[in-house]
Chains A and B, each alone.
Chain A
Amino acid sequence: MSTSVDRLVEASGSSGPGHFARRAARLLRGTVAIFAFLAAWEILPRLGLVDTTFLPPFSTALSAFVEMARSGELVEHLAASAGRAFSGLILAVAVGVPLGLVIGWYRSVAEILNPLLELFRNTAPLALLPVFVLMLGMGEVSKVAMVFYACLWPILLNTVAGAREVDPLLIRSARSMALSQTRLFTRVVVPASLPSIFTGIRIAGAYSILVLIAAEMVGAKAGLGYLVNYAQFTFEIPKMYAGIVTLSLLGLVLNEVLVLAERRLTAWKGDA
């Protein structure tokens, strides 16, 4: 009797390492491409296949990264960039979401404004960079305004689409409960539009960094875009690559934060 129990325990215990192996395999699958890329970055310059002056090995860039992180230089630039990107993005959410909901819900407003919105959306934000600099100067305001402008369109247009495409059956259902127009809007249209709103915010998140870096390259005294540009200018190539890597990491973190927020707020959708 006891032996069979022991055997059972053993059997269930042996699934432990199997489980561990499966997790390790999954981790490997998820990171192998990145490791291969970094290995190539390390080896190709060392073998002399690429000019080390223009592309130093990854380890050199990494030590520049560590050096700048230690001296506080990196934090300064990162904080400047992240601050601008977040401010612009949050402003765009604060303006784009309410505006988009109203435009989408009131069909007549949508019909009048849509052509204009399409025009703005198809005007590359970077084309307007000189205009922003001209009107708002070279300081923080023009950079945050630039990010705000670039982020506004994906948020606005996705919110409009979300509010317009609320399942008519849900509207009928809510109307049959004699809901007032205001409550219909706040209790049905807003939650029903959330998934679409989040799609817009995630696109905007990517835009915010893209546009900010360009703006910082044109004129700034701090920020990762400035760092990359300046390092290239002064031929501190490892520093330049360290700045680029930091940018990628910032983008990854921002996207991850937005995905988590989305998952939390639209958990009701399930995986389907």
Chain B
Amino acid sequence: MGAAISVRNVSKSYSLNQGGRFVALGNVSFEVRPGEFLVLVGPSGCGKTTLLDLIDGLSLADGGSILIDCVPVKGPGLDRGIVFQQYALFPWKTAKGNIEFGLEARGVPKAERAARAAHFLDLVDLADFGDRYPHQLSGGMKQRIAIARALSYDPEVLLMDEPFAALDAQTRERLQDETLRIWRQTGKTIVFITHSIDEAVYLGQRVLVMAAGPGRIVADIAIDIDRGADDLRATPEFVALRHRIWQLFHPEATAAARVVRDGVRQSTASEESRAS
């Protein structure tokens, strides 16, 4: 079963080469229930990946705290698995070898690894591809192996950092469905990052909308839709939620449109006055 995650008043900034500091995250707080599928959506530069790195323990927060089942995060651990956009498979290991690497990290005895790797290959529907090297696999297959590897050491939390952004539309949709299936099958807590609103609504039980400068959460939206529906993306509920998030996503776009409009009006006014 998945673990609960608690993010409390977390902030993170980086010093810039040209001096000064860039605030990636300013005072972010949220809770994730055990077994929940949470999606963080936001434009690039809003600190999504920074936040995921902090939860994974790859970097540490400047302020605030992150707790996994009430235990503070002090570094990476096998209670959390992470899936990266660029797969991050070890190219010198076969698909099976990559999964076994995760098992080895967990301390699974060598004799058991092969059987358990086979189980996870089966889980991601790649039972026949265990002996392939990453360069012999398509992008979608690589990502499925990466998911299998992250699941292999049985973490309570699965962190996914824009895992399908580099894939073509069809593969992406298939992997989204597969991710939902695996989530239901394993009961993991999933924190999923994306910049695609469509993907966020399709996958999440709950969507946190983020904004940049400094990175923060601007909305917490429960996705309460009937997932059994045919062509879910075309249902009015889906479209309405998508649009609602889009508006949150683009306040600057609406603002920018207003500025441009006003700017045009002003410049025409000044030209008219000059002409007269």
Q: Are B93 and A176 in contact (CB under 8 A)?
A: no
Q: Using Cβ atoms and an 8 Å threshold, which residues of chain A touch B91?
A: 268-269
Q: Are A175 and B76 in contact (CB under 8 A)?
A: yes
When A and B form their complex, which 3 residue pairs have the shortest distance between CB atoms, in order from nearest?
A173-B88, A177-B105, A270-B135
CB distance from A201 to the nearest CB of B (A): 17
Q: A172-B84, A178-B75 are in contact. Are A268 and B105 (CB under 8 A)?
A: no
Stretch of A96-104, A121-129, A185-193 contacting B (4+ beta carbons < 8 Å): A185-193
CB distance from A170 to the nearest CB of B (A): 6
**A75 CB–B CB distance under 8 Å:** no
Q: Are B84 and A169 in contact (CB under 8 A)?
A: yes
Q: Using Cβ atoms and an 8 Å threshold, which residues of chain B touch A169?
A: 84, 86, 88
Which residues from 170 to 225 on chain A have a C-beta closer than 8 Å to any C-beta of chain B?
A: 170, 172-173, 175-179, 187-188, 191-192, 194
CB distance from B184 to the nearest CB of A (A): 24
Q: Using Cβ atoms and an 8 Å threshold, which residues of chain A touch B82?
A: 173, 176
Per-position 1/0 for B152-180, Cβ under 8 A of A: 01000000000000000000000000000
Q: Are A270 and B133 in contact (CB under 8 A)?
A: yes
Alpha-carbon separation in the docked complex, A210 to B86 (Å): 43
**B58 CB–A CB distance under 8 Å:** yes
Q: Are B76 and A177 in contact (CB under 8 A)?
A: yes
**A116 CB–B CB distance under 8 Å:** no
Q: Using Cβ atoms and an 8 Å threshold, which residues of chain B touch A187?
A: 101
**A36 CB–B CB distance under 8 Å:** no
**B78 CB–A CB distance under 8 Å:** yes
Q: Are A172 and B92 in contact (CB under 8 A)?
A: no
Chain B contact surface mostly: loop
Alpha-carbon separation in the docked complex, A270 to B82 (Å): 27
Q: A170-B88, A191-B90 are in contact. Are A272 and B76 (CB under 8 A)?
A: no
Alpha-carbon separation in the docked complex, A170 to B92 (Å): 11
Alpha-carbon separation in the docked complex, A169 to B56 (Å): 14
A188 and chain B: residue at smallest CB distance: B90
Alpha-carbon separation in the docked complex, A123 to B232 (Å): 69
Q: Are B153 and A177 in contact (CB under 8 A)?
A: yes
* 8 CB-based A-B contacts, threshold 8 Å: A170-B88, A175-B58, A176-B56, A176-B57, A179-B105, A194-B92, A268-B94, A270-B133
Per-position 1/0 for A237-272, Cβ under 8 A of B: 000000000000000000000000000001011101
Q: A170-B88, A268-B91 are in contact. Are A176 and B80 (CB under 8 A)?
A: yes
Tally of A interface residues using CB under 8 Å: 20
Q: Are B92 and A176 in contact (CB under 8 A)?
A: no
Q: Are A177 and B78 in contact (CB under 8 A)?
A: yes
**B72 CB–A CB distance under 8 Å:** no
The residue from B75, B90, B135 contacting A269, defined by CB atoms under 8 A apart = B135
Binding site for A on B (CB under 8 A): 56-58, 75-78, 80-82, 84, 86, 88, 90-94, 101-102, 105, 133, 135-136, 153
Alpha-carbon separation in the docked complex, A172 to B259 (Å): 42
A168 and chain B: residue at smallest CB distance: B88
Q: Using Cβ atoms and an 8 Å threshold, which residues of chain B touch A167?
A: 88
A183 and chain B: residue at smallest CB distance: B105
The residue from B78, B101, B135 contacting A178, defined by CB atoms under 8 A apart = B78
Q: A191-B92, A194-B92, A269-B91 are in contact. Are A178 and B86 (CB under 8 A)?
A: no
Q: Are A170 and B90 in contact (CB under 8 A)?
A: yes
Q: Are A178 and B77 in contact (CB under 8 A)?
A: yes
Q: Using Cβ atoms and an 8 Å threshold, which residues of chain B touch A178?
A: 75-78, 105
CB distance from A265 to the nearest CB of B (A): 9
Alpha-carbon separation in the docked complex, A226 to B247 (Å): 83
Q: A169-B84, A169-B88 are in contact. Are A176 and B101 (CB under 8 A)?
A: no
CB distance from A135 to the nearest CB of B (A): 42
Which residues from 58 to 90 on chain A have a C-beta closer than 8 Å to any C-beta of chain B?
A: none
User: 18 additional contacts, CB 8 Å, given A169-B88, A192-B90?
Assistant: A167-B88, A169-B84, A170-B88, A170-B90, A173-B84, A173-B88, A173-B90, A175-B76, A176-B57, A176-B80, A178-B78, A179-B105, A188-B90, A266-B92, A268-B93, A268-B133, A270-B133, A272-B135
Q: Using Cβ atoms and an 8 Å threshold, which residues of chain B touch A269?
A: 91, 135
